[in-house]
Structure 1
Amino acid sequence: MNSISNYVQLIGNLGRDVEFRDLDNGNAMARVSMATKEVFRETGGSKRVETTWHYLIGWGKVAEMMQVFLKKGSTVVVQGKLRHQLVGEGDKKQLRTEIVVNEFRLMQ
C-alpha cells in the first residue's frame, strides 16, 4: 500500500495570474485559483457542466516556478496535498481547502 495518505492530483485551467510574494522570512509564496470541470448527462440526454474552483498555494522554489510559468487560462496538472485553513475574522470565519502544490506540469 502507498504510504502517502494526503495526495491530490488535478487537471484544470487557471482562473487568474499567479499572485507571488517574497516573504520577510526569505521564503516565497505563490497563490492562484484553478477550475476543474465535470460533465454530466441529464435524464433527457442533455449535458450539464459543473465547474469547481480550487485554491492552489506553492512555497519556495515551487512558488518561484509557478510565477514564471503559470498564466491565466493555462491548462495545468498539479500534484500536492490538501490543507484546510480558517480564513476571515470573527463571525465571518470560513474553512477553506487549499492544495499545497508539490509539482506541476503545463499541458500543451
Structure 2
Amino acid sequence: MLNRVVLVGRLTRDPELRYTPNGVAVANFTLAVNRTFSNQQGERDADFINCVVWRKPAENVANYLKKGSLAGVDGRIQTRSYDNNEGRRVFVTEIVADSVQFLEPRGASQGQGNDYFGGPPSGGNDFGNQQNPNQNRSSGGFNDDPFSNDGKPIDISDDDLPF
C-alpha cells in the first residue's frame, strides 16, 4: 500500500498553532494549490487543501510561514470523522505533513505579485540572485551556464555518462 502526497502552494491564512494536553505542538493551515489546466473561462482554478503538522515542524511553520507564503508539503492523506455539537457525523480529509519546506525567503510574498511557483513579478529581480540580465557571468547565480561563451566542443565519452 502507498499513501504519499507532495504539494506546492501558498498558505491561504496564517497557520494556527495549538498544543495538546500533553504539550505536543500541532499546526493547521490551508494550502492553495493551482490546478495544471484552465477552466472554460481560461482561468486556473485552485484546490484548497487542509494540512496538519505536528511537534517541532509545527512550531517552525507557525513561526516562519504566514498567509501567502509559498510552501512544499510532503506527507500522507488521512480521513477521520467526529460528531459535531448538533450530533451529526462530520468527515474530514486532510494532509498529515511529514515535512514542510519553506520555498521562498522570509517576507518575499509580502506585497509582491509572485506567480504560483514563486517567480518574481515582471521586471523584478529573482530574490536578489540576478540584478541585471547583462551582468558578468562570473556572478555565481544558479542560472549560469558553465559552458556558455567557451566556444570549445565538450568532450564526453560514454563512460562518463551515468546511464
TM-score for both structures, normalised by structure 1 = 0.83
Instruction: Give the Cα separation in 1 of the matches to 2:34 and 2:43.
Output: 10
User: Residue in 2 aligned with 1:12?
Assistant: 9
Whether 2:24 is the aligned partner of 1:38: answer: no
| Higher relative contact order (Cα pairs below 8 Å, separated by 6+ residues) | 1
- Distance change >3 Å, CA 22–CA 42, structure 1 → 2: closer
CA distance in structure 2 between the partners assigned to 1:55 and 1:17 by the alignment: 13
What is the correspondence of 1:4-83 to structure 2 with a 5 Å cutoff?
Answer: 5-41=2-38, 47-83=42-78
Determine which structure has the larger strand proportion and give its number: 1
Q: Distance in 1 between matches of 2:62 and 2:74?
A: 17
Q: Structure 1 pair 21/27, CA: closer, same or farther in 2 (3 Å)?
A: same
Looking at structure 2, the residues matched to 76 and 50 of structure 1 have their Cα atoms a distance apart, in angstroms, of 18
Structure of larger gyration radius? 2
Query: Structure 2: which amino acid aligns with 1:64?
Result: E
Q: 1:88 to 1:17 in 2, by over 3 A?
A: farther
Ranges in structure 1 where 5+ consecutive residues have no aligned partner: none
1:12–1:77 CA contact under 8 A, matched in 2:
yes
1:48 Cα offset (Å) = 2.9
The answer to whether the 8 A contact 2:38-2:45 is kept is: no
Q: For the residues of structure 2 that align with 1:62 and 1:56, how far apart are their CA atoms?
A: 12
Q: Does 1:98 align with 2:112?
A: no
Identical positions, percent: 30
Amino acid aligned to 2:48: W
Q: 1:8 to 1:68 in 2, by over 3 A?
A: same
Report how many residues are paired.
Answer: 102
For the residue of structure 1 that corresponds to 2:57, the secondary structure is helix
Give, in whole Å, the separation in 1 of the partners of 2:36 and 2:72. 18
Residue 42 of structure 1 and its aligned partner are, at CA, apart by 5.8
